[in-house]
Structure 1
Amino acid sequence: MPERSSTPKIAFLDVDGTILDHGRRIAPSTVRAIREARAAGHLVYLCTGRAAGHIPESVLEIGFDGAVTNGGAFAMVGDVLVHGETMPREELDALLAHFEEHDLHYLLQTNRRVYASARTRAAIQEHLAAARADKPEPQTSPQAGFSAEPIEDAPLDEIAKAVFFTEEAGAVERARQEFGERFHIVRGSMPLPGGSDGEIGLRGTTKGAAIDKVLEHLGLDRADAIGIGDSWNDVEMFEVCGVGVAMGNAAPELQELADEVTSTVLENGIFDAFARHGLVRADASSRS
């Protein structure tokens, strides 16, 4: 077992499927690992596709040194904004026309808020209710009370990211064919049996690009960074960080793109990865 590292490292952690069991639970060992690593002098950052205002309080109260949000559109070092970009209106208008033409449900994200139509909000609640029905254990889910602002109130000059979903297959590939040279489009992680969902940001707007901004601001090297995630928007994070770690619950194809695979989100995945790289002590008592 490796000893705790005396060289400060910086860890970037995805939220859903990495810290949170997709909105339901957080492993106690995850909380301990993050707090122990920070107490030892390492830096721990959130690195999520969520808007900053939609990160659950149960996650934020763990304590972090900063955050990359909206899939890389924004990055905070402490309370300092070191990176921020939004979609030009002509690009956003093209996306909105595509969503409407193909009758897709969609959400728009600003730095802090999420906007959706009443129809889309109802569809999300339906999917969440179905997911909860498959999980009979008591729910304390931050997503159980999901809410979004009315789409009519969306400030269209401040949109950083779009998310879309449909019960039909092939929507992500269709969007890539139409917009592949203009946008960064990846498969999402919403549970939609038989359907498809995706995330769209500007071309070049990725978690990896935002991590580079954070590292530059802090004067740290990529070799000092560890990125841990389970979604397709984590690929560029894996590429930028010195070590890219896929969660055990990630898709097998995604695991193949990481340097390592840790255990699953509720089976001490973050703790095991931190222990392997010396951010925490690898004793069993801290793991439970």
Structure 2
Amino acid sequence: MVAPLAVDIDGTLSREDRSIDSRVMDVLREWDAPVVIATGKALPYPIALCQFVGIEECVVAENGGVAYVDDELFYFGDREGADAVAREFRAAGYDIGWGESDLVNRWRETELAVSREQPLDVLTEIAERHGLSVVDTEFAYHVKETQMNKGAALPTVAGELGYEPTDFVAVGDSANDVELFEAAGRSYAVANAVDAAKAAADVVVEETYADGFLAAVERIRERAA
């Protein structure tokens, strides 16, 4: 019997252009254990992914800032500090980088995502003055409470599902997956993963992006056989 799965989206279920590879959908839908989508994206995005794939809505979003499972929301941070960083960043003459509508942050409740076209050193300095940290997910700079991460949120979600965090197998690619890898019982990094994620993973597969995810799940199935 396969282990429950905790999986990232961008860079893991996607192609290089960030579009979801359709091959992963049947794999997730047919997985014979709970699947937790663990992402840096705001909550509506992974919820929508679960709905379109046809799996239960079990989500860790915003780099561990908020989780949803069994019709209950859990918050592990708030937006107040991140908003203060945004105000100071703008006052210094910089832009968050997502345009006037800012759909990246519109529904974000516990952190702030800043375009990677903006200066990381300035953003980090401002964040540290507010007691916050910045994680580079390779898709955006995320300003968040330091203790807030995917791995710290997993025990709550796992408990709601009747599991221990160490029962889970995690698959990811980014710096924000490091703590998730540490919390899970076993972890796989796809070949396009950053060095920190590769170092934290139990296994680094040879394939990249969604191909890497598919290779990882084959190994997970083989271990369960």
Give me the TM-score of the superposition, normalised by structure 2.
0.82
Correspondence for 1:148 among 97, 100, 103: 103
Distance in 2, Cα, partners of 1:60 & 1:258 = 29
Q: Name the CA shift for 1:252/1:178 in 2 (closer, same or farther; >3 Å).
A: same
- Is the counterpart of residue 17 in structure 1 residue 7 in structure 2? no
Q: Matched residue of 1:238: which SS?
A: helix
The AA in structure 2 aligned to 1:34 is: L
Structure 2 match to 1:206: 149
Q: Matched residue of 2:14: which SS?
A: coil
Distance in 2, Cα, partners of 1:76 & 1:177 = 29
Alignment of 1:172-183 (within 5 A): 173-175=124-126, 177-179=128-130, 182-183=131-132
8 Å CA contact 2:79–2:111 kept in 1: the answer is no
Deviation at 1:169, TM superposition (A): 5.5
Distance in 1, Cα, partners of 2:51 & 2:14 = 11
Give me the TM-score of the superposition, normalised by structure 1.
0.66
Distance in 2, Cα, partners of 1:204 & 1:279 = 35
Correspondence for 1:161 among 90, 95, 111: 111
Alignment of 1:102-121 (within 5 A): 102-106=92-96, 117-118=99-100
Identity among equivalent pairs (%): 23
Distance in 2, Cα, partners of 1:225 & 1:54 = 22
- Is the counterpart of residue 33 in structure 1 residue 27 in structure 2? yes
Deviations 1:193-239 (A, max 9, x none): xxxx5101223211111111112222312221111111111111111
Alignment of 1:1-288 (within 5 A): 6=1, 9-21=3-15, 22-28=17-23, 30-37=24-31, 40=32, 42-55=33-46, 57=48, 60-65=51-56, 66-81=58-73, 83-87=74-78, 89=80, 91-106=81-96, 117-118=99-100, 148=103, 159-165=109-115, 166-168=117-119, 170-171=121-122, 173-175=124-126, 177-179=128-130, 182-190=131-139, 197-262=140-205, 263-267=207-211, 269-278=212-221
Q: Give the number of the structure with larger relative contact order, counting CA–CA contacts within 8 Å between residues 6 or more apart.
A: 1
**Count, aligned residues:** 221
Distance in 1, Cα, partners of 2:26 & 2:224 = 11
8 Å CA contact 2:5–2:170 kept in 1: the answer is yes
Distance in 1, Cα, partners of 2:167 & 2:65 = 22
What RMSD in Å do the two structures reach over aligned CA positions?
3.1
Q: Matched residue of 1:170: which SS?
A: helix
8 Å CA contact 2:112–2:142 kept in 1: the answer is yes
Structure 2 match to 1:286: none
Larger Rg: 1
The AA in structure 2 aligned to 1:44 is: V
Provide structure 1 residue ranges, at least 5 long, that are not aligned to the other structure: 1-5, 108-115, 122-146, 191-196, 283-288
Deviations 1:105-164 (A, max 9, x none): 327xxxxxxxx652xx6xxxxxxxxxxxxxxxxxxxxxxxxx629x8xx69xx8311011
Provide structure 2 residue ranges, at least 5 long, that are not aligned to the other structure: none
Q: Name the CA shift for 1:261/1:85 in 2 (closer, same or farther; >3 Å).
A: same
